[in-house]
Amino acid sequence: MKTILITGGAGFIGSHIVRFFVNKYPHYRIVNLDALTYAGNLENLRDVEDKPNYEFVKADISFDKEIMPLFEKYRFDGVIHLAAESHVDRSISNPMEFIITNIIGTVNLLNAARHIWKDQPEGKLFYHISTDEVYGSLGEEGYFTENTPYDPRSPYSASKASSDHLVRAYYHTFNLPIVISNCSNNYGGNQFPEKLIPLFIHNIRNNKPLPVYGKGENVRDWLFVEDHTAAIDLIFHKGKTGETYNIGGNNEWRNIDLIKLLCRIMDGKLGRAEGTSEKLITYVKDRAGHDLRYAIDSGKLQHELGWSPSVDFEKGLHKTVDWYLANEEWLNNVTSGDYKKYYEEQYLKR
Ligand code: NAD
Ligand code: TYD
C-alpha cells in the first residue's frame, strides 16, 4: 500500500484532490496535512472522513519540527503539495505570511522528502502545485508556455515563484524526484468567499455591492476545479520527473463580462427580474499591481499526456452557483467571525 501525503487538503482545491484520491485509489493511504488556517475547513471532507484509507493530521508546514517527524513516521511514497497562502489581496496587506508558508514551508517539505528518500528515490515523487501567476502579466496577445520567463508581480506570485525555483533546485542539486504544474484560475464548490466567483455569489445572494476592481477589464483563464483535479491525477501518475506542465481552461473572460454572466445566472436561480443583480456592480479602487491578463497554453499537457478541459464554462458556473445555494450553512459558517474583519478592511475602507 502506497502512502501519499496531500498538503492543504482542507482547502478549496486540496479537498477536491483528497476526495478524488481517497475514492479512486482505495489501495493508497491518503494523509491530509493541513494547519486549518482561515481557508482550511474539514467540513469540506465530511463525506470521506470515515473512509479506512484516509487520515487527517493537523500540522503547520512552516515548522520543521512538526514536519520531519511526520515524514519519519509515515515514510510517504509521494507528496502532492498544495498548502499555501493563496489570496493576492491578503499578500498585499501581509506579505510575510506568504513568505513563511509558501517558501519556508515548501523547503521544509523538500528537506523532509530528501531526508527519507535519499537512499531510494526510485518510484517516489514530490509534486508541487503552482500557479500561472508566476509568469507575470500578459498584454492583449500571447499565452504563457512552460518556457515563459518568470516575472511575478505580487507578493503571492513572487512567493509561489520562489517555491517553484526551490523545488527545481532540489531536483538538479539533490536528484529529488519532482514535478510541477502551473494552473490558471480555478472555480467550483468549496472555494473560500474571498476569491472573485464565490465572493460575488455570496454578495448577490445577500444583495450586497459587487466590488469590481478598476474598470473590470482584467482577464483571467477559468478552469473548473474537477478538470484541475483530473490533470493533477494524470501528472502525478504519468508526468515525467523534473518536468513542468501548464494547466489552463482555454477560457478567457474579462472580469466584467464574467460578473454580468454570473448576475444573469443568479437572477434566474433566485427568481429575480433580469438586470436586478447587475445593479449591485460597484467600481472600486483597483488592486495594487493588478495583473492585466493571464492566459495559459496547455498544449504540452494535452499532447504528451492527453488531458484537456472538459467542463463548459456556463455549465460549470451553473453547477458552482447551485453548490453555494445548496450549501448556505457552509457559507454562513465560513463568513462568520474573522471574515467580517477581513471584509471590512478589504472593502469598506476602499
Ligand atoms: P486555499 O487557500 O483554499 O487552501 C489552502 C490550504 O492550505 C488551506 O486548507 C490552509 O489551511 C492550508 N494551509 C495554509 N497555510 C498552511 C501551513 N502553514 N501549513 C499547513 N497548511 C496550510 O487554496 P487553494 O485555492 O485550494 O489553492 C491550493 C494550491 O493551489 C495553492 O498552492 C495555490 O497556490 C495553488 N493554485 C490555486 C489556484 C486557484 O485558482 N485557487 C490556481 C492555481 C494554483
Ligand atoms: P481572484 O479571484 O482574487 O484571483 P486572482 O487575483 O488570483 O486572479 O480575482 C480574480 C479577478 O477578479 C482579478 O482580476 C481581481 C478581480 N477581483 C475584483 O474585481 N473584485 C474582487 O472583490 C475580487 C476578490 C477580485
Q: What confidence tens digit (pLDDT) does each residue in 165-180 have?
A: 999 999 999 999 999 9
- The pLDDT score that the predictor gives to residue 263 is 98
| Pairing outcome for strands 252-254 and 219-224 | antiparallel
Is residue 133 flagged as an active site residue? yes
Query: Whose alpha carbon is nearest atom 3 of ligand 2?
Result: 195
**How far is the C-alpha of 10 from the C-alpha of 191, rounded, in Å?**
11
> Which ligand neighbours the alpha carbon of 161 most closely?
1
Is residue 146 flagged as an active site residue? no
Q: Give yes or no for residue 119 having a pLDDT over 80.
A: no
**How far is the C-alpha of 297 from the C-alpha of 313, rounded, in Å?**
17
> How would CATH label the architecture of 2-192+222-250+290-312?
3-Layer(aba) Sandwich (3.40)
Q: For residue 314, how many other CB atoms are within 10 A of its CB? A: 11
**Residue among 135, 157, 195 to mutate when testing ligand 2 (max atoms within 8 A of CB):** 195
- DSSP state at residue 125: E
Using the mean position of ligand 2's atoms as its centre, give its distance from the Cα of residue 333 in Å. Answer: 22
199 lines ligand 1 (CB under 6 A): no
State the catalytic residue, choosing from 34, 60, 133, 226: 133
For the chain, the helix, strand and coil percentages under 3-state DSSP, each to the nearest 5: 45, 20, 35
- Tens of pLDDT, residue by residue over 207-235, are 999 999 999 999 999 999 999 999 999 99
- Tens of pLDDT, residue by residue over 57-113, are 999 999 999 999 999 999 999 999 999 999 999 999 999 999 999 999 999 999 999
Domain ranges of the chain: 2-192+222-250+290-312
